[in-house]
Structure formats: structure tokens, C-alpha cells
Structure 1
Amino acid sequence: MRLHTRHWGTGDRTALLVHGIMSDSRTWRRVGPALAERGYRVTAVDLRGHGGSPRGDYGIEHFADDLVDTLPTGADVIVGHSLGGLALSLAVDRLRPLRAVYSDPAWSSQNPEQALDPEVFASAKNISREHIVQFNPRWAAEDVDIEVATVADWDADTSYFLDGRPLTGFVPGRPVVPSLVQLADPSLLVGPADVELLRASGFEVRTVTGAGHTIHRDDFDGFMASLEGWI
């Protein structure tokens, strides 16, 4: 499936951005321009069921295949957040970027049934602006407004993308390309044992101190600083 895309910049290098569940390419409102200022031509997708992209079947393989159908191979860097990080990890061997960044990716959890209960995600379709602010007290007002808009455009059926499978089976055994795993503090998805395994298998792992799951909105400066050497 070809996905809706959003673009910034006209530089010689290519950066690709993949958002998490309930969001869309608008989540990168600060990251896209910042990368463009660094000389990148930036493309961000709306995953299927999100933003301006088509609806359809919702399995994790579909999200990964859509990235391959939409994005160019050989990009300088791809950043995937949460569900976007999981989808990227299943597509990276076909997209073959020079570098991959997984921002608090949906790979594992010490209690995956609780952390990724699809019914909880689906019920978030009715979340109010006040609750978004309560859950994300560090977000700028513009990010809250964008979240209200992206949730309105989101198909809540995407919440069932695992089809009953445990999230714990998706931690990559090795990096296909040089890869950074960027974690919230603490990460509710990638636990300490997984960090040890990731580092031992060749991933670089960095934590953004004090940041919540959506690192680029919780602490934009910390997010960008954590990417030094990778962008």
C-alpha cells in the first residue's frame, strides 16, 4: 500500500520518519524542519489507518510492507517511533538505510499484555484534550492540538495489529544496519534485560533522561542531542 507522506527540505541527504500508533506524520512538526536545516530531504509517512493514508487490514507485516512500498531504499537515516520502530525493524533489511534509529520501539515489555492491551488503545479514540494534557504534561500546546487532530483521523482498529501475538517476540537478534535504540526514562517497552541483549548484539542504546515515551515531544532538545553522531 502506498502511504500518504509529508516533506521538509531539499538537501542532498535523505531522512525518513515513521510515527507511532494513534499519531501520524504531523507528530514530527519540529523534527522534520530541524533535519531539513541540517541538510536533509525529509519524508514522513502516515501509517495505514492513520492520517491521510488508506485503511485496510492491520497486521504488523502490513505496516512493514507499506514502508517498503512507499519509501526509497538506501536513505541516510530512518527514525521509527514506537509502532513505527517495530515496523521499521521488520522492513529495514529491504529498505537498507545507512543508519536506523529506533525511538522507544514497541519491541518488548516485562508485562506485554498490560502494556499493549488493544482494547485500551482502541478506547483512546475517545480521549479528550484534557486527558492528553494530563498524560503528557511536558507537551507544547501545539503538540496537544496535533494529537487531538491525529486521534480524530486515526482508525482505532489498528490497535489489534498484533492479532493476539505477544510483543516480546520482536526484539531483533542483531542490527541489519548500524542502529541506535533511543529510550525513554524509564522505557515501558524495552526493559533492562533487553537493553543488555541489544548492546551485546551490536545496537547502541541511549536513554533520554526524564523523557516519556514520545521522546521528540516530551524533550525535543534531548531527542535531538541523543541523535548526535547518527544524523
Structure 2
Amino acid sequence: MKLHVEVHGRGKRTAVLLHGMTGSHESWWRVVPLLVESGYRVLAVDLPGHGLSPRDDTMTVDRAARSIAESIAGDCGSVLNLVMGHSYGGLLLAAAVDTALLTPELSVYIDTPFTTRGGWDRAELTAEYEQDKRARTYDGLRASRPFYSDQDCVVEARAAEHFDPATAAAPATGPGVSFEPEPGSIIVRAKPSSYVDDETAARHRSRGVIVRDVPGAAHSVWYSHFDQFVAALPEVFQ
């Protein structure tokens, strides 16, 4: 599957951004300019069933990871310096790294669940995503996410319009998957986090993964605590 990729900047280093569930390449609208200023050429990807990318109700985690790798291959050059994935995008990054589809110099996982239980009922989960999609209007986001700026609400409402629940639900109907973030990678998590609890964070740290907390942040860490998010990644933002 050829995914939609937005390219920004002409820096000598390459960064790839993978948004979370129901988002799009526009979810990074505040992050992209800082990366460009820091010398990156930025590739912001629309995941399968999101944004302007194709739909496929038979999608799997492995195929989604392969689609990412194949879609950015022509734009990456010989070295991939940075890949940043949020939530579901982080899971797909971990899958791509685990199978050597992507070999970034630095992986950044933002509040990422590295394990999924699988076995979801397709119709039930699709209906749940349909309900979430209907709720993610500008007014709905304004009311449910007071930490969103006006522009955050605009881009996330637009992403919801393009979001395909059937594609998103498909990977969860298969077997559960589990990946370990690679040593030297960075996890930036909300604290408390519904996806990376303290026990999980300690286990990752024991394996050489760097875990940094943003206290009080929402799941979309950079939306609620942008300055703290940037400060948590001095290796990235210069």
C-alpha cells in the first residue's frame, strides 16, 4: 500500500513522523516547523485508513509497518536519522524496527502501547471507532479536550472526517502482538500513563531504553504540554 507522505524542509537529516489512531499528518503541525528549524527534512505519514492514505479492511500490523517502510523509501536517502511515533504510530514503528524494515538512528515512542491483546470482535470495534469518529467534530473536541488549541481542534476534526474505522479495527481482530523498544530509543510518556505504567517503564529502563516523563500530560503529550515535550527531547530539538 502506497501511503500519503507530506514532505517538509530541506535539511541534511531525515525525520519521519507517525501519528496516532484517528489522527493524520496534520497532527504534527506544531512539531514539524521545529524539526525543520533543527535541520531535518521531515516526512509526515498518513497511516493506512487515515488522512489521504488508502483504506483496507484486511490490514495487519505487519502490513501497515511494511507500507510505512515502502512509502518513505524513495524520500529517505541512505540514512534515516529519526522516527517519532505516537501511540498506534509508535506500535507500528516498533514493529518496523523489530523486523528491520526501519533502522533509524533514533526512535522516539510517545505514550506507546507496545502490546496489544488482539481478538477483538470486528463489528463491535468498528462500531466503537465509528462512534468516536462522529464525536470528533470541532465542537466535540473543544468540549472534550480543553487542552486543545483552536488549530488542534481544526486538524483533528479534519482527520476524523478522513478516518476509516474498518481499516483501523482490522489489525486488532487478529492475534495480539508485542514488541520491545530497542535499547537507546526514547519513550516520552504522560505521567500517569494509561499505556506505559511505572512497572513497564522500569522494565524498559532496565533494557537500556530512555524513559522520560511529562507529569500531567494528556495521551497526545505535545498537544497538552508542548514546551515540556520539546524539553524532554534535547537530542531532537536544537
- C-alpha deviation, 1:59, in angstroms: 1.6
**133-142 vs 17-26, which moves further:** 133-142
Alpha carbons of 1:37 and 1:230: their partners in 2 closer, same or farther (altered >3 Å)? closer
Structure 2 residue corresponding to 1:161, chosen from 142, 164, 171: 171
Deviation at 1:28, TM superposition (A): 0.5
Q: Whole-Å Cα distance in 2 between the matches of residues 130 and 171 of structure 1?
A: 37
Q: TM-score, normalised by structure 2?
A: 0.86
Aligned residues: 223
Deviation at 1:94, TM superposition (A): 2.1
SS at match of 2:215: coil
**Match for residue 104 of structure 1?**
111
Q: What does 1:55-66 align with in structure 2 at a 5 Å threshold?
A: 55-56=55-56, 57-66=58-67
Structure-2 change in CA distance of 1:46 and 1:109 (3 Å): closer
Q: Residue 211 of structure 1: CA displacement?
A: 0.8
Q: TM-score, normalised by structure 1?
A: 0.89
- CA distance in 1: counterparts of 2:144 and 2:61, whole angstroms: 26
1:121 to 114, 129, 136: 129
Whether the aligned pair in 2 keeps the contact of 1:22 and 1:150 (CA below 8 Å) is: yes
Alignment RMSD = 2.1
The one-letter code matched in structure 1 to 2:158 is: A
Deviates more, 1:23-32 or 1:118-127: 118-127
Alpha-carbon separation, structure 1, partners of 2:129 and 2:111: 17
Shift of 1:201: 1.0
Does 1:130 pair with 2:139? yes
Partners of 1:74 and 1:121 lie apart in 2 by 36
Q: Which runs of 5+ in 2 are unaligned?
A: none
Provide structure 1 residue ranges, at least 5 long, that are not aligned to the other structure. Answer: none
Q: For 1:188, what is the secondary structure of its paired residue?
A: coil
Alignment-mate amino acid for residue 173 of structure 2? D
Per the TM alignment, residue 164 of structure 1 is displaced from its structure 2 partner at its CA by 4.9
Q: Describe the superposition over 1:4-55 as per-residue Cα deviations: whole angstroms up to 9, x where unpaired.
A: 0112111111111000110110001011111001111101100111111111
